[in-house]
Amino acid sequence: MVLTKIKQYQKLLIAYASSLRDLRVVGMLLFLAVTLMVSWSSVKAIDANYGLQKHISELEQRNAIQRLGNETLKLQNDYYSTPQYLELAARQDFGMAAPGETVLLVPQAVAMAHTVVLPQDEVKTAGTTKPKPAYRQHLEAWKDFLFHKDAASSTSP
């Protein structure tokens, strides 16, 4: 049984070997090899370009962030040279006042004794609450509908 299998493989190898003598088969195998090499080279080039493009976009983002930081520092420097800032700094750091004004210095302990501490939930400043985006409102409406929540019981910040 094993001997018959070996003889079958031998016949198969002899058939393949004889087909390699045919010029068309050799040409097709060479064409296949060249096609595979060109495809592999193209895939490697595309991968290298993708990696380089990702690196370039990362560097461009860093440059944009650095540029914004530089603009912020420039605006801060411009603000520090204004007369309004100089007046505020003189009042705050040196206790100076404009002509005709009287400066009253209140100790911190006395000032803090007359303040009221509000709970964090009650502290709301005007204009800090932003409306939710439309897509989020729609998603929450669908969630409330699907889970049978009443509109009155749902809380919206």
Segment (H or E) for 74: helix 23-80
Mean pLDDT, rounded, for 120-139: 71
- Which is more confident, 135 or 63? 63
pLDDT band at 117 (very low <50, low <70, confident <90, very high): confident
Q: Write out the two tokens for 128.
A: 């800090």
Q: Rounded distance, CA 47 to CA 12, Å?
A: 40
Q: Rounded distance, CA 95 to CA 70, Å?
A: 32
Buried b (16+ CB within 10 A) or exposed e, 107-125: eeeeeeeeeeeeeeeeeee
- DSSP letters, 82-146, are SHHHHHHHHHHHH----TT-------HHHHHHT--PPPTTT---TT-PPPPPHHHHHHHHHHHHH
pLDDT band at 127 (very low <50, low <70, confident <90, very high): low
Mean pLDDT, rounded, for 16-35: 86
pLDDT, position 150: 66
Residue 37 has pLDDT above 50, yes or no: yes
Residues 6+ apart with CB under 8 A from 140: 132, 154
Q: Rounded distance, CA 61 to CA 14, Å?
A: 63
Stated pTM of the model: 0.42
Q: Count of CB atoms within 10 A of residue 140's CB?
A: 14
In this structure, are residues 53 and 59 in contact, taking their beta carbons and an 8 Å threshold?
no
Most confident of the ranges 12-26, 38-52, 104-118: 38-52
- Which is more confident, 57 or 148? 57
